[in-house]
Structures are given as C-alpha cells and as structure tokens.
Amino acid sequence: MANNSLSSVFFQVLKRDLTLAFRHRGEIANPLLFFIIVVSLFPLGVGPTPSTLETIAPGIIWVAALLSAMLSLDGMFRSDFEDGSLEQITMSHHPLSVLVLAKILAHWLITGLPLLFAAPLLGVLLYLPSEAMKTLVITLALGTPILSLVGAIGMGLTVGLKRGGVLLSLLVLPLYIPVLIFGSMAVNEAAAGLAVDGYIYILSALLMFTLSLSPIATAASIRISTS
C-alpha cells in the first residue's frame, strides 16, 4: 500500500511539473531553440565545406546539447523555491529523493527529449554520415538524462542564492565533461565505421551511477538550501 501511495505521489509531482511547464510554452522552447541556433551558426562561422562540418559535427551537437541543458537548469527548482512549494515538498513524509527524481524526470522530458528529435535533422545539416545518426541518438538518449541528474545536484545547492547562475555553471560544468567526451567520441567513431560499444557501455554505467546517486545528493542539497 505504501508503495502504491509513493508511486502515486511520484506521478502527481511529475504531472504537476509537466502541466506547469506547458502553461509556459515559451520556456519549453528556449532550450530547443538555443540548441538549434547554436548548431546552425557553426556552418556560417567555419564555412560550408562538407568535410570540415562532418569532422566537427559530433562535437558541435554535443556542446550545444550541454549548453542547452545548462540553460534550462535554473527552472528545475527556482519557481518552487520562490513560491514556497519546494519547502512544502521537503516537509512531506514521503522520501524527498523520490519526489526530486520526479522533478528531474519532468525536466528531462521537457528539455532533453526534444533534443533527440532535433539532433538527426541538425546532423544532416552538418553532413554527419548516416551510419553515425543512430549512435548520435543513442548517446544523447543516455547522456542528456545524466546532464539533468548532475545539474539537479548543483541546482539544489544554489537554488537559495539570488545570483547562483555563475556558481551553478562552475559546479556542474566539470562534471559534464566526461559525458561530452564519451558522447562525441562515440559519434566520431561511428562516423569512421568503428565499433562504439565501449562508449555506449560507459555512458550506460554513468547513467546508472548518477541515477542512483543524484536523487539522494539533490535531496540533501535542497534541505541545506531551504534550512
């Protein structure tokens, strides 16, 4: 019965965050538009040479995805902190880590999932070989949840600060680097026709590690910020 009650609360928090997000559709579109604009500007900056764009395409797409994730982090807990609902969540008798996980999932569905659909189209723009498209989507599917999970920890620590954006970037950016490296290298190797299983396994392991650690660490950081 307790499990049913906990799962019900999990989905209620998830539904609430998604409903609030869709009431402010402009905020949903911002990370996706930023992602598209950043990737689209590179051909103008480095030139339209297919060989050049094909070489740098994985790095461009992954850097743009990382920056888009950072751009959207502030909305994960900020509005809840300002209206007092975050404090109410911390006072709930349900495990805070589970409720935090629901909010992280909502954040990824709003900001990370759209990138998976836009990335192949941008890959075509950058002349990314068709052999690498599948790997690009897989690595983003594994990597973007990691960005949300890791970013939630930093956001939990800085949510009580009025100007915590710079500090948030300093906290999470070094932790994003491994995801960026393995994600872009996997796509590069796939474009060259080489095996990418090792990179996929590493990203999967990172996802499992952050999925098990991040909700607990985020819950602890939120308690510190709201105390």
**Are 39 and 93 contacting, i.e. CB atoms less than 8 angstroms apart?**
no
Sorted by where each begins, the domain ranges of the chain are 2-226
Residue corresponding to tokens 């990335």: 119
CA-CA-CA-CA torsion sign (154, 156, 157, 158): positive
**Are 126 and 42 contacting, i.e. CB atoms less than 8 angstroms apart?**
yes
192, amino acid identity: A
Give the number of other Cβ atoms within 10 Å of residue 206's Cβ.
Answer: 20
Sequence-distant (6+) residues with CB within 8 A of 2 are none
pLDDT (tens place) for every residue of the chain, 227 residues total = 344 588 888 899 899 888 888 887 777 788 899 999 999 998 888 888 888 888 899 999 999 999 998 888 887 888 788 777 888 888 888 889 999 999 999 999 999 999 999 999 999 999 999 889 999 999 999 999 999 999 999 988 888 777 667 778 888 899 999 999 999 999 999 998 899 999 999 999 999 999 999 999 999 998 887 77
130, amino acid identity: S
Give the number of other Cβ atoms within 10 Å of residue 165's Cβ.
Answer: 14
The alpha carbon torsion through 178, 181, 187, 191 (nearest 10 deg) reads: -150
Q: What is the largest CA-CA distance in the chain?
A: 61
Helices 96-107 and 197-226 cross at an angle (nearest 10°) of 120
74-104 exposure pattern, b = at least 16 Cβ within 10 A, e = fewer: bbbbbebbeeeebeebbeeeeebebbbbbbb
Cα 100 from Cα 122, distance rounded (Å):
32
